[in-house]
Amino acid sequence: MMNTSFAVRLREDRRLVLLRLLQEQRGYMANSSVLHAGLQFMGVASTRDDVRTDLAWLQEQDLAALSEVVPGVLVATLTARGGDVATGQAVIPGVSRPSPK
């Protein structure tokens, strides 16, 4: 087993939850405020800055596409690759793998 700090594990889990939240949305998209509220609802402690940072990282990995239609609010759209990671069909270092069903 790899020795991973709690902060790293939390970040990887948070990224997976973000992808799964996007996957559940109509049109596979949501704004950063809605995603932050979704994380809070799921019991994943996070700040708005955490969400913005993770969304930027997800975009760099081609797991989500971002646009800023209103200053300060990002709109994230799940990519096909992001959907594969959310369902466990693809593995990306930096995102937790979903548990088997």
Is 97 domain-assigned? no
* Structural domain harbouring 12: 7-84
pTM score of the predicted model: 0.93
Does residue 57 sit within a domain?
yes
| Contact between residue 12 and residue 3 where contact means Cβ atoms under 8 Å apart | no
Structural contact between residues 78 and 64, judged by C-beta atoms closer than 8 angstroms: yes
CATH of the domain at 13: 1.10.10.10
Flag whether 99 is in a domain. no
Q: How many structural domains is the chain composed of? A: 1
pLDDT digits (tens, 9 = 90+) for 55-95: 999 999 999 999 998 888 899 999 999 999 999 999 999 99
Residue 2 within a domain: no
Query: What are the pLDDT digits (tens) for 16-65?
Result: 999 999 999 999 999 999 999 999 999 998 999 999 999 999 999 999 99
Ramachandran angles phi, psi of 52, nearest 5°: -60, -40
In a domain, 58, yes or no: yes
